[in-house]
Structure 1
Amino acid sequence: MTTQRLLALGLLLSCSFSALAEFELIHNVKGYTLTRQGELKTFSTLVFKDGKVVRTGDEGLLKTYSKAKKTNGEQKVLLPGLIDAHGHIIGLGQNLVQLDVRGTTSKQQVGERLAAYAKNKKGWIIGRGWNQELWPDGQFPTASDLDKYVNDRPVMLSRVDGHAIWVNSKAMELAGITQKTLAPDGGEILRLSNQSPSGIFIDKAENLIRLHVPTPSSEELGLALDAAGQHLLSLGITSTHDAGIDFATWQLYKQRDSSNQLPLRIFAMLSATDAKLETMLAAGVYKNQRDYLSIRSVKIYADGALGSRGAALVDEYADRKGHKGLMLESQAKLEALFALSFKHGFSANTHAIGDMANRTVLDAYENAFKQHGGKLLRNRIEHAQIVQPNDIPRFKQLSIIPSMQPVHATSDMHMAEQRLNSLQLQGAYAWQSFLNQGSKVAAGSDFPVELANIFHGLYAAITRMDHTQQPDKGWRPSEALSRKDALKAFSLDAAYAAHQEFKIGSLEQGKWADFILIDQDIFTVDAAKIYQTNVLETWIAGEQKFSIN
């Protein structure tokens, strides 16, 4: 063999070993992944390179990839990175630094937290998390309830579902709210017996106050993004769908993505209520090779929420005679927004909670598809909480993805029994009914409305019980999901709902190596303990982004 050939062979071998050394693997794990065919596959070794999955298998892969960088998983359980199909990233980040009144059991407890928080705070005091359903009388509070604790500065506290605000008298004064102030269409101002505004503003009436709240700076938005990102990574969430971003957040996300500074993968929906919606749409669909940011859908709002009695119902509320909730947009306006979205190649993801809202949105989709096309864009109904049984098949017929939040069922079950009649309850939180007809359910948490812990959602989906294992056998248990289907809803089907099933959602060859290590096996542990699962490590594209140590 000539010297030239020997040099060439040496160079080839050097390159081969160099390429081999770029492989990484994690072994000695109890690994689970779904396949695109919906099968649950187990493995003990995961091999990846350049951030993408090469293969999964047994310990024999250690010999095949003998030069690979190895990590011993020490028999920990490994799952694909979890995907939350409906959350609010900036809202979560702000919630982590603003006044948090989640879980308060009385108006007095809210007031005490407010007083303590206000000692070191100037200007507007913003908070979130109250839920009158947890209080002894179950009644909405008033401005005077806040005035007792803070009356010299404006206070605005959002209800836990984000569909009502509670303000003090100073906030109403600054906003020019008087007895003569009328609620806009799609909104409601609750009033005292003398017809003065009580301090509770529901859905579109919130804007009467919010227009006077200082807009967060770009720096504050960035801090909120970072805080939320670290929190989500600590919970094993490697990708999340941000359900409604404004123009400032749109700019922030694109800037961060261009400098590789997004903390996790984000599928962002443009808010249909933003004044610059058409500007954002005109910029076109946004995606790149790293798959950290995708913007190709619009979040549209059809009605309010059940807790504030803003969800639009066919029949009146069982606990408020003559009241049927609030439609935030007419069917004609919904159809116009769908057409606008489709024109630019964006899907339409529409918030609908009540059965009237769901029916109206389905009608609007059907008409829009006939006139403008767009049926294949993987349009979604966000929440789909209360759907009349004869409307459920229409999701499949119209190719609408039900984007649902399992923990809402166990949070709402007692309230729902009071608010709804027996017919409405038949199609409430009906995950299994959707799966049975072949619909893909994309699951989320709706953080910060609920805690951003997907293991709480998996537990709720599987058991339909609260954390005290009540009610016995679960609430309307025929709608519960299997463990496999629950994980699929928070991984592969959530990825499908973002047009990303060939990129993420499972640990299959060629997909991004997004995975987590957890402290117990959710497929074998007592179902009652699933919500107690802790995340030990979170990896995105083969890089560790979080470790509990």
Structure 2
Amino acid sequence: MTQADIIIENARILTMDPAHPRAEAIAISGKTILALGSNTDIAALAGPRTRRVDACGRTVLPGLVEGHMHLFGGAFGLRYLQLGGVKTLDALRSKLHRYAAENPNATLLICKATDYSLLVSTEAYPRQMLDEVLSERPVLCFASDHHTAWANTIALQRAGLLHGREMPEGHEVMMGPDGTATGELRELSAIDPVMALRNSGGREVLGMFGIEPEVAPTDAQREDDMRVMKEGLAYCASFGFTSLHNMDGNRYQLDLLHTLEERGELICRIQVPFHLTPEKSLSTLEDASWMHENYQSELLRSGRVKMFMDGVVDSGTAVLVDEYSDAPGWRGGPLHSAERFSAAVTEADRRGLQMSVHAIGDGAVRRVLDGYEAARDANGARDSRHRIEHIELLHPDDLHRFKELGVVASMQPPHVPGAMDFPFDPWRAKVGEARWPHAFPVRALANAGVPIVFASDWPVSDINPMRGVMAAMTRQRWTEACPDNRLSLEEALYGYTAGGAYAAFDETRLGRLKPGMQADIVVMDHDLEALEVNEIGKTRAALTLCAGAITWEA
């Protein structure tokens, strides 16, 4: 009889395996699950060297999957000033002055998670409001979604933006009636000139846009970059994550992760996509194939192509089918033409690559679905599991197309306005009440049999998956016309476990607890089923195992 290396007993195990949904104990041998069953049955597999973990009646789950995140940016961003919960200029002044004093040599003070309502006034521009807080040093405040930022006057002057600058479609330096910039910057091209003021070397967005370092990093830089990666991996493991679907990356980032893997320091499974930006030609998909062919290990993989179709509703850069409620005639500008996008998807699909496309507005979602349909028509149907990321608004005419095209819905429960940290407005005001019933349509997609994976989009929102689970369970209807989008505990957990595994073609080895599957397991610090729903977000991992190895222990 094979003896277990680790036994977790006295547990409330939710296996996510419909055939055997619950167990009391689980045995692990090497990297795989040996058996599940009662405490008595599993105790018989213990030997003199077996480590026995008493779960004390707490919940045990398959290792959690973070289905959409930005590892390096999230980890590096922990070093910036976090403005979550800051609602007044006085509170901002207190935090920013302290942060400035702690970072006297920073040439740009960068703040994260700024509330869209913080710098709104009818009497002053956002830059002037920031000037009231701190005027003598450049300041840049990012919104949580990273699609909008606000800069003070000195930052705009030094970046050459105070009097505006021509931008690509969908990117904008917002201008006031007096011909000067208000301080609000929408999308990457508008934000980049201010970010260029920083003296960190730009490494905080390493791989974010799929661009390789212009200058080969020194050995010291490589080691520091890997240190940031390790900090991020450890942070993820502390929440119970064993698999990460990264949404940015390049060859350099893959190389760093590969080095960590060779050193035995890659403690989470991670996927890194090829990023196809509007500036790149379709011939660069050859690089995507190279990444796919050369990175296919147990812990580190490529094989996806990431694209953006639009921006975000809050800044008016999401693409809608009908005009914005607060901007007559404006529907947003797509980042790819229909012809360019269909050609890109068709070529990626021909190469056997999976797609992950950011599409927030219903117009962007429709264009992505059109591209997926064009690829199927050109190449023939296959199990591609192409994904759409976010789907904050879905036109009801397009719901049936997800199932018909085999599309995976990648959604973020924390992003729903009012569900967790994001305010109701400006999102709801821009979309308009008539379209609220079609917002973040998780129940409609689930009822239609569409595979769903959940995520945080860290660092856009808090990575804590149990806060995401709580947000999914407690979501409120905005009006009587809105459907009930609340999920049960098991439905929400499924999106962070088996749903994530399916989205990555990993359902035969991950996402469920059953004999022969990989021993990716998390022991929570509470019995989730015994808690009031509003307490679930306070829980965290007590023990995390990836491939049978303990990666986090509280």
Paired residues of 1:456 and 1:530 also in contact (CA < 8 A): yes
* Alignment correspondent of 1:146: 130
Summarize deviations over 1:47-90 as a string: whole Å, max 9, x none: 11111111110123245314261333232221111111111111
Secondary structure in 1 matching 2:467: helix
For the Cα contact (< 8 Å) 2:269–2:300, is it kept in 1?
Answer: yes
Aligned pair 1:520/2:526, yes or no?
Answer: yes
- Write the letter of the residue equivalent to 1:448: P
Cα drift, residue 256 of structure 1 = 2.1
Q: Which amino acid aligns with 1:414?
A: F
How far 1:149 moved relative to its partner?
Answer: 4.4
| Matches of 1:128 and 1:175, distance apart in 2 | 19
Which of 129, 138, 144 is 1:160 aligned to? 144
Match of 1:540 in 2: 546
Aligned pair partner of 2:424 in 408, 411, 414: 414
Size of the aligned set, in residue pairs, is: 523
The equivalent of 1:233 in structure 2 is 237
1:215 maps to 2:215: no
Tell me, yes or no, if structure 1 residue 295 matches structure 2 residue 302.
Answer: yes
Partner residue, 2:459? 448
Give 3-state SS (helix, strand or coil) of 1:285's partner. helix
Judging changes above 3 Å, is the alpha-carbon distance between structure 1 residues 254 and 339 closer, same or farther for their aligned structure 2 residues?
farther
Whether 1:101 aligns to 2:83 is: yes
Answer whether contact 1:187 1:326 (CA < 8 A) is retained. no
Mapped pair 1:51 → 2:31: yes
SS in 1 for 2:342: helix
Moved more, 411-420 or 40-49: 411-420
1:334-349 map, 5 Å: 334-349=341-356
Q: 2:335 is paired with a residue of what secondary structure?
A: coil
Q: 2:496 aligns with which of 477, 490, 495?
A: 490
After TM superposition, list the pairs within 5 Å mapping 1:81-160 onto structure 2.
81-121=63-103, 122=105, 123-133=107-117, 142-160=126-144
Q: Hey, what's the Cα distance between the residues in 2 that align with 1:43 and 1:145?
A: 57
Of the three residues 290, 314, 318, the one matched with 2:321 is 314
Please, which runs of 5 or more residues in structure 2 have no aligned partner?
A: 204-220
Q: Does 1:463 align with 2:445?
A: no
Question: SS in structure 2 opposite 1:376?
Answer: coil
Deviation readout 1:228-271 (Å, 9 max, x if unpaired): 22221111122121112244323322332233322312122222
Q: 1:202 — aligned with what?
A: 186
Aligned to 2:267: 263
Match of 2:174, SS state, is strand
* Contact kept? 1:287, 1:293, Cα under 8 Å: no
Distance 1:138 1:340 in 2: 49
Q: Which residue in 2 is equivalent to 1:248?
A: 252
Q: Residue 377 of structure 1: SS of its match in structure 2?
A: coil
AA in 2 matched with 1:206: I
Match of 1:405 in 2: 412
Letter in 1 for 2:176: L
**Is the counterpart of residue 283 in structure 1 residue 290 in structure 2?**
yes
Return the letter of the residue paired with 1:365: Y
Q: Which moved more, 1:41-50 or 1:239-248?
A: 239-248
1:318, CA displacement in angstroms? 1.9
Q: Give 2:215's aligned residue.
A: none
1:357 positional shift: 0.8
Offset at 1:321? 3.6
Alignment partners' CA distance in 1, 2:480 and 2:97: 39
**Mapped contact 2:89–2:118 kept (Cα < 8 A):** no
Question: How far apart are residue 520 of structure 1 and its match?
Answer: 2.5
1:434 pairs with 2:440: no
Alpha carbons of structure 1 residues 151 and 339: separation in structure 2 relative to 1, 3 Å? farther
Match of 1:30 in 2: 12
Residue 164 of structure 1 deviates from its aligned partner by: 1.2
Please give the secondary structure, in 2, of the residue aligned with 1:501: coil
Say which one has the larger Rg.
Answer: 1
The one-letter code of the counterpart of 1:215 is G
Is 134-143 or 275-284 further displaced after alignment?
134-143
User: Which of 388, 413, 430 is residue 395 of structure 2 equivalent to?
Assistant: 388
Q: Distance in 2 between matches of 1:543 and 1:125?
A: 39
- Return closer, same or farther for 1:282/1:473 CA change in 2, 3 Å cut-off: closer
Q: Distance in 2 between matches of 1:139 and 1:82?
A: 47
CA-to-partner distance for each residue in 1:132-168, whole Å, 9 max, x for gaps?
2366759996223333444454333221101012223
- 123-132 or 451-460, which deviates more: 123-132
- Tell me if 1:504 matches 2:510: yes
Deviates more, 1:233-242 or 1:153-162: 153-162
Relative distance call for 1:386 and 1:293 in structure 2 (3 A) is: same
**Alignment partner for residue 170 of structure 2, among 171, 183, 186?**
186
Q: State TM-score, norm by structure 1.
A: 0.88
User: 1:478 aligns to what SS in structure 2?
Assistant: coil
Q: Aligned letter for 1:160? A: S
Residue 207 of structure 2 is matched in structure 1 by none
Q: Distance in 2 between matches of 1:46 and 1:267?
A: 28
Cα distance in 1 for partners of 2:435, 2:122 equals 22
Judged with a 3 Å threshold, the aligned counterparts in structure 2 of structure 1 residues 171 and 365 are, in CA distance, closer, same or farther, namely same
Is the CA contact 1:105–1:136 (under 8 Å) kept in the aligned structure 2?
Answer: no
SS in structure 1 at match of 2:484: helix
Q: 1:462 is aligned with what amino acid?
A: M
- In the alignment, residue 228 of structure 2 is paired with which amino acid? A
Higher mean alpha-carbon deviation, 450-459 vs 530-539, is at 530-539
Q: 1:85 to 1:375 in 2, by over 3 A?
A: same
Q: Which residue of 2 aligns with 1:176?
A: 160
Tell me the CA shift for residue 296 of structure 1: 1.1
Shift of 1:288: 6.8
- 1:41 is aligned to 21
Q: Tell me if structure 2 keeps the 8 A contact 1:32–1:40.
A: no
Partner of 1:355: 362
The alignment-based identity, stated in percent, is 25
Change (3 A) 1:309 1:350: same
Q: Quick check: 2:23–2:37 contact (8 Å CA) kept in 1?
A: yes
Counterparts of 1:138 and 1:541, CA distance in 2: 56
Instruction: Identify if the C-alpha distance between structure 1 residues 301 and 377 changes in structure 2 by more than 3 Å, giving closer, same or farther.
Output: same
SS state at 1:424 partner:
helix
> For 1:140 and 1:266, how far apart are their aligned partners in 2?
45
Contact 1:77 1:520 in 2 (8 A): yes
Tell me the residue number matched to 1:64. Answer: 44
> Which residue identity lines up with residue 300 of structure 2 in the other structure?
L
Q: Does 1:530 align with 2:536?
A: yes
Q: TM-score, normalised by structure 2?
A: 0.87
CA gap 1:166/1:180 in 2 versus in 1, 3 angstroms = closer
Judge conservation of contact 2:26–2:42 (CA < 8 Å) in 1.
Answer: no
RMSD: 2.8
- Answer yes or no: is 1:330 the counterpart of 2:337: yes
